[in-house]
Structure 1
Amino acid sequence: MGRLTGQSAVYQGMNVAGAAGFIVNGWWHGALPSASLNVIWMLIGAVALWRIRKRGSSTSAM
């Protein structure tokens, strides 16, 4: 719908939260390969969030 971009903190925050939900669901149902994949996906989202926040703090310091 074009309301959020992949470069926004909100988008990446929802990405991390969704992956965390899938980790819990996969673990609960014994789907460990799926849970493991979502751990990796959550880490990718967390790194993206870290980079967005790092970029935001460096531009606001100027």
Structure 2
Amino acid sequence: MKKRVEYKSTSLQYHHGILAEIIGWYGTVALVLAYALVSFGAIASSSLLYQVLNGTGALGIVYISFKKKNYQPGVLNIIWAIIALIAIGGIVLASANF
């Protein structure tokens, strides 16, 4: 008879869970910060900083949403990240004078 092998939660799994939460919280903070900076006139919505905060924030929320099998915010933020990526491309092309 084979012995049944049980896997216990390891330190690596624990740290991976914490990392996932940090990524998710970064996404939340980045999106709120981007919105606040534009709303209070600190940066323009056409700025690279705004679009990078939007894009990376959205990706952070996508990661944690799919990890937790919470698909609605994940799908919304995939679209959000695509919009940010397109805007970043436009900013880069405009600054390169193409």
How high is the TM-score relative to the length of structure 1?
A: 0.87
Gapped regions of structure 2 (runs ≥ 5): 1-39
Q: TM-score, normalised by structure 2?
A: 0.57
- Percentage identity across paired residues of the two chains: 25
Cα drift, residue 32 of structure 1:
1.1
Runs of 4+ in 1 over 4 A off after TM superposition: none
**How many residues are paired up?**
59
Q: Distance in 2 between matches of 1:33 and 1:27?
A: 9
Amino acid at match of 2:57: G
Structure 1 residues without counterparts, runs of 5 or longer: none
Q: What RMSD, in angstroms, separates the aligned Cα atoms of the two structures?
A: 1.2
Match of 1:24 among 63, 75, 80: 63
Match status 1:52 vs 2:91: yes
